[in-house]
Amino acid sequence: MARITLEDLNGLDDEPLDEDEEPMDGEEQNRLFSHWEAVASTHQVSLPREMVGPIVQMTQHRQVREPVPYVTLLQHEKCEERLYPAGKWACITKGEPRYEQSISMGFMKLMRYICKENSVGRYLGMTVPVVNEVRLNEEGTELLQAVTTSYYLPGEFQANPPLPTDPDIRIEERQPLRVLTRVFYGVTTEETILQEIRLLGALLDSPDTVLRERYLVAAYENPSVPQRRNEIWSVRRAE
């Protein structure tokens, strides 16, 4: 079953791209794809050949990533409260057996939408973080299979988002979101997410003010960073 993470798809080479560098030729593209294949194999993935184009585009644009806008409301010792404004996101929901599989399958489709498979037929630009929404079972001990992976549309496309050619991807206009966030580092798996949910919950003075069944996992960095940055978000209840 496919298991390639968002971080794997964000780029595998830390070398900055020279603005005057010539486009990659076929041999360079094959080398890059082979490199990604080797990484993908460690996640038990057979990387489809049609990912060559998106891989090349993401690699060439890896230094330009637009942050999702937000306002900091409160800064606590170990967590932060933020307000994310209303905005448009491209979203896809997958229900693979494992969290890692769902975000892998979802983001590969989003990556193709970002790179060319959209109504304007061009690279849209990367934003960070990419956000994965998870829900817990009634006991709060396991993640439900369905995971929604979401990509914030860059500012130039917020008013008129390009339509996806993939029917699995939908454009959502989301209302303002108030969240409590906590940074953590390393890989994101079902086990690490459940642990981070527990750690964030222990920091809350009033647990009843947040949703207990819905959490968001924000991913920022690529796999070349050994302790890459992520965040767990807890959603404030509407007052």
Q: Does 1 reside within a domain?
A: no
User: What digits encode the pLDDT tens for the residues 145-178?
Assistant: 999 999 999 999 999 999 999 999 999 999 999 9
Same domain as 115, residue 39: no
CA–CA dist 39, 58 (Å, integer): 16
Residue 232 near residue 200, CB atoms below 8 Å: yes
pLDDT of residue 43: 57
Same domain as 96, residue 210: yes
pTM above 0.95, yes or no: no
Q: Which domain holds residue 55?
A: 6-60
Same domain as 205, residue 134: yes
Q: How many domains does the chain have?
A: 2
The residue with greater pLDDT, 169 or 22, is: 169
Same domain as 199, residue 93: yes
Residue 19 confidence (pLDDT) above 60: no
Q: What are residue 167's phi and psi, to 5 degrees?
A: -65, -15
The residue with greater pLDDT, 43 or 94, is: 94
